[in-house]
Amino acid sequence: MTVRLTGVGLTHANGRRALQEVELTVGRGERLAIIGPSGAGKTTLLRLLATSLQPSEGRLELLGSEPWRLPAGQRKRLRARLGLVHQSPPLPPRQRVVTAVLAGRLGQWPLWKSLLNLLHPLDPAGARNALGRLDLAEQLFERCDQLSGGQLQRVGIARVLYQQAELILADEPVSAMDPVLASHTLGVLNREAESRGVTLLASLHAVDLALAHFPRIVGVREGRIAFDLPAHAVTPQALDALYANEQLDQPRPASPAPAPHVVTIPRC
């Protein structure tokens, strides 16, 4: 089993219950989409699976071990096998794309190699290959603050492709892309997972994309799993219930632009 959640609940520090009684089992090589209205807990669920958040109750098993029962060193090694695609990838504005992508293997490289790579990219071919699959190879040596929101999202995906993670978690990975590019990018992620036999979990707000690309669909509503069905068995009624009182196709804001980088220059 790649993922097993048993009775998992999560209460945020401010007392808000984000997830409750979540039961989810995902086998190796499965590809599933998580859909649901805004604020349903999709992002929280993915951050929980990425070991960014700790469950308040229940059991979380990833790749055969319980991350929060492991000593820190072993948890670090487990994390190197998990790849998280952020909705707005947190990349330093001045970092070059090649460095941002190669940073995907920092968990596997010894420290000397990480430091050497900072001075001179050690595997530009690997980064170019990962970016090339997302149609972004020309931007290899550009700075991250010169890219658009959709391009940044693809850099974040390229980093996880380069990481060769065994469990790919993607939080709204295509929210800032146009429909054609979004479909192409999801195709790349799915082919990657299929060809290497690894597991892919992606949260999506576009139901049509989820149904078109993923064999298994999990609906989340108000912190609970509303349904967990093969894509062909998802009925319009189930979707209507999932998004009840929500506008099905509400416009979503693109990923927020990173705050302008200001350097205070002291003068005397």
Partner 1 sequence: MKRALNYALLLAILLAVAVSFVGLGLDFSGLTSARGLALMADYAAGFFPADFSAAHLAQIGRASLETLAMSALGTLLAALLGLALALPAAGRFGAVAGALARFVLNALRSIPELVWAALMVLAAGLGPNAGTLALALHTTGVLGRLFAEALENTPGEPAEAIRLAGGGHVAAFVYGTLPGVWPQLIAYSLYRWENNIRMASVLGFVGAGGLGQMLYVSLSLFQQAQAATVILAMLLLVLAVDALSGWARQRWVSH
Q: Residues interacting with partner 1, by CB under 8 A?
A: 50-52, 76-84, 86, 89-95, 99, 103-104, 106-109, 111, 114-115, 118, 159, 163, 165, 259, 261, 263-268
- Nearer CB in complex with partner 1: 15/73: 73
Query: Taking the complex as a whole, how short is the minimal distance between the CB of residue 40 and partner 1, in angstroms?
Result: 22
- Nearer CB in complex with partner 1: 20/164: 164
Query: Taking the complex as a whole, how short is the minimal distance between the CB of residue 12 and partner 1, in angstroms?
Result: 17
Query: Taking the complex as a whole, how short is the minimal distance between the CB of residue 216 and partner 1, in angstroms?
Result: 24
Query: Taking the complex as a whole, how short is the minimal distance between the CB of residue 232 and partner 1, in angstroms?
Result: 34
Query: Taking the complex as a whole, how short is the minimal distance between the CB of residue 178 and partner 1, in angstroms?
Result: 25
Strands 167-171 and 82-85 come out as: parallel
- Nearer CB in complex with partner 1: 95/129: 95
- Nearer CB in complex with partner 1: 119/244: 119
SS3 sequence of 83-146: EEECCCCCCCCCCEHHHHHHHHHCCCCCHHHHHHHHHCCCCHHHHHHHHHCCCCHHHHHCEHHH
| The pair of three-digit structure tokens given for residue 103, joined into one six-digit string | 């940073």
Neighbour count for residue 192 (Cβ, 10 Å): 19
Q: Rounded CA gap, 18 and 12, in Å? A: 7
- Nearer CB in complex with partner 1: 247/264: 264
